[in-house]
Chain A
């Protein structure tokens, strides 16, 4: 039997459905319905409208990965399903592959997108916003979504065309290293933003800019407290009450 190839329209449907992966996120099986919903157009192309019960069973169980990596997993899973139906042998079956990659891909996605790209884009957006420009949210959205949307699309194609070799390709991209570089850039931007705000604060209070350096140890102290588990809410209350008390007293 010849292997079924997915059409461009099916890829488009899967890509669009990836935006709904987490619509029924639940504590029991996390993204289980979402993953089946995601690959459904592909399964229909492979098996027709009557999807076999064992296929339905193996793709509706526990599933959890980073939402932006899900199309990559979906691409490989669909290719493995098509090959299995065509009687071709593969090193691992679709179910094993899924359970093998979902956790590492989740960790990579969290580090890259939530820990790397998002804070960096937010910091750049804030620097634009601090100039009073209403373009700030647009800058943030564009900077974040360019890599995000490209990653979803290319992940789907990569997963389908390279199958299991997609894992090697992802490894070669050195995503954890890239995430660290992005975090380092974010740290530098935090310094730039804090210095800019300190300078503006001194300017506003008609103080010498040298006083701005006083805030450096204060920010470091707060960062240390946050690192030790002190909540943002507590730090906000501490700062606000101190400043309001000073304003009332002097």
Chain B
């Protein structure tokens, strides 16, 4: 990967990060989209999509309600994709094992996203005060300016999260890959499917629907029987 690739990834990190709360919210911030987009600008959309699949369901049940800030799954997706496509090849690794290792390393680092997001919102507290003051003074353009400046704090929070994930993640990946890669290759596809199913289980456990267990069991059993007997 060249410097231009990292810059492109940084732009994707900011744009998808803004989509989480501050801008548009058309869900390009969801891991399935953000990781594929990152993979696409870096030349490997399929690697991105595999990473997005692993992460999509993990925090989907955590609703961005009011002042609640869920872990930053967007930057986990972007960061894991950059790790897989930048550090992986330098270690001579590619394919599923490096995808899984990158995701496993990036997931805990998503906590940094909560910290940076909270910081951005505190910066916005000041913007809200100065915007309100400008408005009361009759300076409507001042309110608009302060309001739109909020985008900058959210964009920087996203970029900072992605940077931490890529920098810390690279160090960890270089350190643990030689030790774990054999086991990850061995577990390979089982690990891949299991991670998606953990996400599915978490979503099932947090969806708050009566009869969710019976609906799930009926759908699972029915589908298994159809696939088995086909």
Chain A residues close to B by CB (< 8 Å): 19-20, 22-30, 32-34, 36-37, 40, 51, 53, 56-57, 60, 64, 67-68, 106, 110, 114-115, 118-119, 121-122, 125-126, 129-130, 132, 134, 136-137, 140-141, 144-145, 148-149, 180, 183-184, 186-201, 204-205, 209-210, 212-213, 215-216, 219-220, 222-228, 232-233, 235-236, 239-240, 243-244, 246-248
Q: In the bound complex, do residue B202 and residue A222 qualify as a contact, i.e. CB atoms below 8 Å apart?
A: yes
Contacting residues, chain B, for A149 (C-beta < 8 A): 26
Taking a contact as CB atoms closer than 8 A, the residue among A121, A136, A188 that contacts B219 in the complex is A188
User: Is the Cβ of B207 less than 8 Å from the Cβ of A212?
Assistant: no
A23-B148, A33-B147, A232-B59 known; A246+B187 contact, CB < 8 A = yes
CB neighbours of B36 from chain A (8 A): 134, 136-137
CB pairs A–B below 8 angstroms (5 shown): A24-B131, A36-B147, A193-B200, A233-B108, A236-B195
Docked-complex contact B128 and A145, CB < 8 angstroms: no
Main secondary structure of the interface of B (DSSP, over half): helix
Complex-state Cα separation, A219 to B197, whole angstroms: 7
What CA separation (Å) do A189 and B125 show in the bound complex?
41
In the complex, are the beta carbons of A195 and B207 less than 8 A apart?
Answer: no
What is the distance, in angstroms, from A194's C-beta to the closest C-beta of chain B? 5
Query: For window 154-213 of chain B, which residues contact chain A by CB distance below 8 Å?
Result: 154, 180, 182-184, 186-187, 189-191, 193-209, 211-213
Q: How distant is A129 from chain B, measured CB to nearest CB, in Å?
A: 5
Give chain B residues whose Cβ lies under 8 Å from the Cβ of A29.
128, 132
Q: A129-B49, A216-B221 are in contact. Are A233 and B143 (CB under 8 A)?
A: no
Contacts of A232 in B (CB 8 A): 58-59, 198-199, 202
